[in-house]
Structure 1
Amino acid sequence: MTPTPPPAAAGASPAVAESADSDTATTRYAEAETVAGRVRGLWRGEPGAGGSAAFLGIPFAKPPVGALRFEEPVPPESWEGVRDALEFGATAQRGDPGITLIPEPSVPGDATLNVNVFTPVPGIADAALPVLVWIHGGGYVTGSPASPWYDGRAFNRDGVVTVTISYRLGFDGFGHIDGAPSNRGVRDWLAALQWVQDNIANFGGDPSRVTIAGQSAGGGAVLRLLAMPAAQHLFHSVWALSGALADVSSERARTASARLARLAGVAPTRDGFASVPEDTLHALQSKAVEPESGDRLAGVRGLLDDGLSWGPEIDGDLILEPTVGALRSGVGSDKPLILGTTDDEFTMVLDSAQRKLRIVPAGLALAKLHVPRERRRAYLADNAAQRRKGTAAVLGRYVTDVVFRSTVVRVAAARGTAPTWVYRFSWPSPTRRWALHCLDVPFWFDCLDEPHVAAIAGDAPPRRLAAAIHGAAVALVRGDDPGWRPWSAAPGTTRVFGGAASAPDVVADGYRSVRALV
């Protein structure tokens, strides 16, 4: 399905400013008001004829440096005149993250708490278009809102104002510090969403129709927000792609911070950590959560048993209980939710070990991960097709299922009759073999022409698949039915995007293969 945008307000047209460069090409700008001052963005395409304006790097809080480094986000200073919003703002991600499946560049600078707004109707306060707010992934330690894949062009084309937000990462965002506010990264999400409530009408958006969405850690972030009483007034529906929950216990958070302090040679206090340069803590934060034993599998077992090391902490203040428990108690039950995963999020990680593992029985390999015997047997019985692909494929799928796919079932079950739709993304990458982590993102954003997409999706990714999943996203944001029966009405019902041509698009028990894990 190809969505069509609703009309803007009758008689309304965005204000456009023009300038000519030395080659006589015309650059068009757009302007909009914010609570802190007026901003200038850049038009892409023709205003009113399918084009949209990008406002980049608008601060929603003061730079979190100096005395504000470990503080709650503080509203930005106001400015006079018109502030340029023509380039991405600084990112909390520093330096070159190396080869990543999603291109997510780092931008230097201190003003890392900023938003990017993409809109077809800037300055038209009564346009009241629905709004999508995107939270990037990266395991809560990396990632960037400046990815070309997160550009809101396609959503703008379909009548949706789009916002991408930044937040503090790793220890700075989520580490436990005596004497400092907890969950600073979560507080950044809340502050950015409040900025949307206060300002998005001036960019043509409707603050009463905000959908939050994210992928991987970003998917975990939107599920965490859905399960937070303090966040309920800030959004109205949710889409979680490959949601990775953290739900770090207070004890675990304190232990990691204490170890980081020892590595840095300081006291585990606000003053102690503040005395350490940011880049030093970044260099040490991964070492602080590594297993101290020499067991090479200990880190994998830790991930499977405890989840991600840095991320939202159950602090007894802002976050009172684990995500699934809060959802089970009814938090967020009035809000529609769509969630799903790719079929083989992390299976590709073990491709290089395929030859070595071919002589190892799958049951023995799972035993090395301390999977109990009865669970092993049940899991292997439910995954016979994957087992025929070899032990590496089974182990990769098991990690995928524990970290991602079982979360879908637990969340959907916890919500009971609350409106919940479930899907799978099953189209295998022609370059990477599997329906792997991040592969669904350019389809969801309908940005298949972006140059980096070919590396993960090949030279001819199916546009009909992008139209299907992007169309479902637009439907949710608009408040429409996404197009298949909800899990909440018939538990197990799953939409399959990109499955075999001969297979049905909707199946009765799409996550049957993970039932031994839940």
Structure 2
Amino acid sequence: MSERSGGAGAEFPTAGGRVRGRSTGGVTAVLGIPYAAPPFGTLRFREPRPAAAWDGVRECTAFGPVAPQSAELPGAPVWRPGDEDILTVNVWVPDGAHGGALPVFFWIHGGAYTFGSSAQPDFDGRALARAGLVVVSCNYRVGFEGFGHVPGFPDNRGLLDQAAALRWVRAGIADFGGDPGNVTVAGHSSGAGSVACLMAMPQAAGLFRRAVAHSVPSAYHSVELAMAVTRRIAREAEVAPTARGLLSAPPEALVAAADRTAATCRTDPVAAVHAFDPVLFQPVVDGEVLPADPLRAFASGAARNVDLLACHALEEYWFLHAVGAVREVTTEQDLADAAEALRLPAELLDGYRALLPDAPVLDRYLALFGDARFAEYTTRLAEQHARTGGRSYLARFARRRGTARPWHTADVPFAFGNLDAAGAAFLIGGPPDDEDRALSRRMLSAWAGFAATGDPGWPAVTATATPVRSWAVPCDRLASCDATALRALWRDVPFALMRPARPAPPAG
């Protein structure tokens, strides 16, 4: 049982020792609690190991260091060489919960498996905690440290970190008032991809009951492609692509080498690891940590005991284009090359041209690739889950206001109730109005309801029908069956083929 005095100074026991958080606005935030040992030195590139215990009470009123990366995100800390205690969790607890076995909402941040952290302002858990949840978020290894292939070491170390954080929740969340038997794991973008992988991973089996996945990316690496990525980064870092060579390169050297390699991908499709997708790091289907990509795993019924709430945005790729994360495609030949790079059938190009006859090539490219990379894959996960006996729900983020698009990441501050957070105005297209705040309350309520009971408030997907909730202003829409012309275009397109057509040439 936790000891609570209310206000500043509330203390909680953990396996490592006692921690003290800070209470504001009716919620106690306990930040930066180690769940595993720093993954550096002799532990670098290894699976996470237990954190060391401490004496006395640890002050946990600030987020822990972020994982090695070059990103500088609004309102969030940046990584500095030498920051090592990066495997930490944060917990938000409603004041007065008193060990009341509340539902637990466990958030995994996104960032192309390369950047990001739990400290981003739009991931603040206070609004969800006030809705009656114990909210947990975690930092984990990203980029090469978390997802780079290192001979002789486990792949998918970032996923293993997330599973270790979930084991920390299972062992100790009751002391924060949470129910370890009612955990919902949630994420957006690569965080949602992580959620889907955790649903397919034996190491995560039984650690959560429900899953929320917004904008799940469709890309996964084979071991061979992961090895090709390592060769290119090692060459850029001027080290051998061996365990010894990679261990000799400090984290900052591999971060810089990966950044240079990704920049090459955006400008040089002949030599690129991915001709039109410069995201270097993806989960590796290694047959051990990740036995199969999630769509195949779901088809086998591997995750049927986990309830799923899936969501995607209508115009995912417009955001990635706005921030310069994808190549510019403005000619029909560029578009054909892009489709060939992902092995997309020519009929899809014809179909999008027919559905968007007056759209410029760039808009057709962004529509096609946003659906290929996020929207259609997310929808299929929900459908496949239902077909094999799982319970799943589907939603789409369709909110438009002025020139603001329903693009990638815009749904996150709405669902978290953080429309005024630093950086949110860019994501949602300006300051929120009353209709936006009402939409945010509806989306947050759906998350909270799903985490508590497994029901977000609309009908579940079935083996024969796909009801879909469209989040919009001034009011939402519910379609009883997702039978649009756009979905019809994708009906016979196998996602197993959606892999880069050309691996990277060997280094040297």
| Distance verdict in 2 for CA 1:436–1:265, change over 3 Å | same
What are the residue-to-residue correspondences of 1:120-139 with 2, within 5 Å?
Answer: 120-121=94-95, 124-125=98-99, 127-139=100-112
Give the Cα separation in 1 of the matches to 2:48 and 2:281.
Answer: 19
| Distance verdict in 2 for CA 1:510–1:429, change over 3 Å | farther
What are the residue-to-residue correspondences of 1:137-286 with 2, within 5 Å?
Answer: 137-286=110-259
Give the Cα separation in 1 of the matches to 2:245 and 2:220.
Answer: 25
| Matched residue SS, 1:64 | coil
| Matched residue SS, 2:183 | strand
1:425 matched to 2:400? The reply is no
Match of 1:64 in 2: 39
Match of 1:469 in 2: 443
1:391 matched to 2:371? The reply is no
Match of 1:379 in 2: 352
| Matched residue SS, 2:423 | helix
1:484 matched to 2:455? The reply is no
Contact 1:93–1:144 under 8 Å retained in 2: no
Give the Cα separation in 2 of the matches to 1:422 and 1:508.
Answer: 11
Query: For residues 373-403 of structure 1, what are the alpha-carbon distances to aligned partners after superposition, in whole Å with 9 as ceiling and x for unaligned?
Result: 323223333xx2x443433221111111111
Give the Cα separation in 2 of the matches to 1:349 and 1:380.
Answer: 21
Flag structure 2 segments of 5+ consecutive residues without an equivalent. Answer: 494-508
What are the residue-to-residue correspondences of 1:97-116 with 2, within 5 Å?
Answer: 97-98=71-72, 104-108=76-80, 109-116=83-90
Query: For residues 459-499 of structure 1, what are the alpha-carbon distances to aligned partners after superposition, in whole Å with 9 as ceiling and x for unaligned?
Result: 23411111111111011100142111112255232110006
Contact 1:248–1:309 under 8 Å retained in 2: no
Higher mean alpha-carbon deviation, 277-286 vs 256-265, is at 256-265
Give the Cα separation in 1 of the matches to 2:391 and 2:233.
Answer: 42
Give the Cα separation in 1 of the matches to 2:336 and 2:119.
Answer: 42
| Distance verdict in 2 for CA 1:476–1:349, change over 3 Å | closer
Contact 2:320–2:408 under 8 Å retained in 1: no
Residue identity in the other structure for 1:194 = R
Match of 2:283 in 1: 312
Q: How many angstroms does 1:292 deviate by? A: 7.5
Residue identity in the other structure for 1:34 = T
Query: For residues 317-376 of structure 1, what are the alpha-carbon distances to aligned partners after superposition, in whole Å with 9 as ceiling and x for unaligned?
Result: 2111121101100011111101111111112555799xx988x5xx65532323543232
Contact 1:401–1:514 under 8 Å retained in 2: no
Give the Cα separation in 2 of the matches to 1:292 and 1:453.
Answer: 29
Q: How many angstroms does 1:514 deviate by? A: 4.0
Q: How many angstroms does 1:175 deviate by? A: 1.1
Residue identity in the other structure for 2:411 = D
Mark the structure with the bigger radius of gyration: 1
Pick from 367, 370, 393 the counterpart of residue 400 of structure 1.
370
Residue identity in the other structure for 1:43 = S
Pick from 29, 34, 52 the counterpart of residue 77 of structure 1.
52
Give the Cα separation in 2 of the matches to 1:13 and 1:313.
Answer: 40
| Matched residue SS, 1:505 | strand
Contact 1:221–1:245 under 8 Å retained in 2: no
Q: How many angstroms does 1:117 deviate by? A: 0.5
Residue identity in the other structure for 1:31 = E
Match of 2:5 in 1: 16
Pick from 277, 299, 315 the counterpart of residue 328 of structure 1.
299
Q: How many angstroms does 1:124 deviate by? A: 3.2
Q: How many angstroms does 1:295 deviate by? A: 4.7
Query: For residues 424-445 of structure 1, what are the alpha-carbon distances to aligned partners after superposition, in whole Å with 9 as ceiling and x for unaligned?
Result: 00012546x3111111111000
What TM-score, normalized to structure 2? 0.87
Q: How many angstroms does 1:504 deviate by? A: 3.5
Contact 1:347–1:395 under 8 Å retained in 2: no
| Distance verdict in 2 for CA 1:294–1:210, change over 3 Å | closer
Give the Cα separation in 2 of the matches to 1:206 and 1:427.
Answer: 34
Give the Cα separation in 1 of the matches to 2:69 and 2:84.
Answer: 11
Residue identity in the other structure for 1:447 = N
| Matched residue SS, 1:53 | strand
| Distance verdict in 2 for CA 1:224–1:274, change over 3 Å | same
Give the Cα separation in 2 of the matches to 1:339 and 1:296.
Answer: 32
| Distance verdict in 2 for CA 1:103–1:298, change over 3 Å | farther
Match of 1:48 in 2: none
| Matched residue SS, 1:163 | strand
Residue identity in the other structure for 2:363 = A
RMSD of Structure 2 on Structure 1 (CA)? 2.8
| Matched residue SS, 1:234 | coil
Q: How many angstroms does 1:256 deviate by? A: 1.3
Residue identity in the other structure for 2:378 = V
Match of 2:405 in 1: 434
Contact 1:222–1:240 under 8 Å retained in 2: yes
Contact 1:14–1:121 under 8 Å retained in 2: no
Give the Cα separation in 2 of the matches to 1:379 and 1:474.
Answer: 37
Match of 2:423 in 1: 452
Flag structure 1 segments of 5+ consecutive residues without an equivalent. Answer: 1-11, 18-26, 46-50
Give the Cα separation in 2 of the matches to 1:193 and 1:488.
Answer: 29
- How many percent identity over aligned positions? 35
Give the Cα separation in 2 of the matches to 1:157 and 1:510.
Answer: 37
Give the Cα separation in 2 of the matches to 1:13 and 1:202.
Answer: 5
Match of 1:9 in 2: none
Pick from 4, 8, 18 the counterpart of residue 38 of structure 1.
18
Contact 1:387–1:393 under 8 Å retained in 2: no
Residue identity in the other structure for 2:212 = W
The number of equivalent residue pairs is 477
Contact 2:265–2:275 under 8 Å retained in 1: no
| Distance verdict in 2 for CA 1:467–1:155, change over 3 Å | same
Higher mean alpha-carbon deviation, 436-445 vs 479-488, is at 479-488
Match of 1:52 in 2: 27
Q: How many angstroms does 1:43 deviate by? A: 0.8
Contact 1:106–1:144 under 8 Å retained in 2: no
Contact 1:130–1:160 under 8 Å retained in 2: yes
Residue identity in the other structure for 1:35 = A
Give the Cα separation in 2 of the matches to 1:44 and 1:242.
Answer: 32
Give the Cα separation in 1 of the matches to 2:264 and 2:254.
Answer: 18
Higher mean alpha-carbon deviation, 138-147 vs 503-512, is at 503-512
Match of 2:500 in 1: none
Match of 1:4 in 2: none
Q: How many angstroms does 1:93 deviate by? A: 4.2
Residue identity in the other structure for 1:474 = A
Query: For residues 144-171 of structure 1, what are the alpha-carbon distances to aligned partners after superposition, in whole Å with 9 as ceiling and x for unaligned?
Result: 1101111111111111000011111111
Query: For residues 65-85 of structure 1, what are the alpha-carbon distances to aligned partners after superposition, in whole Å with 9 as ceiling and x for unaligned?
Result: 111111111111111110111
| Distance verdict in 2 for CA 1:511–1:411, change over 3 Å | farther
Q: How many angstroms does 1:224 deviate by? A: 0.8
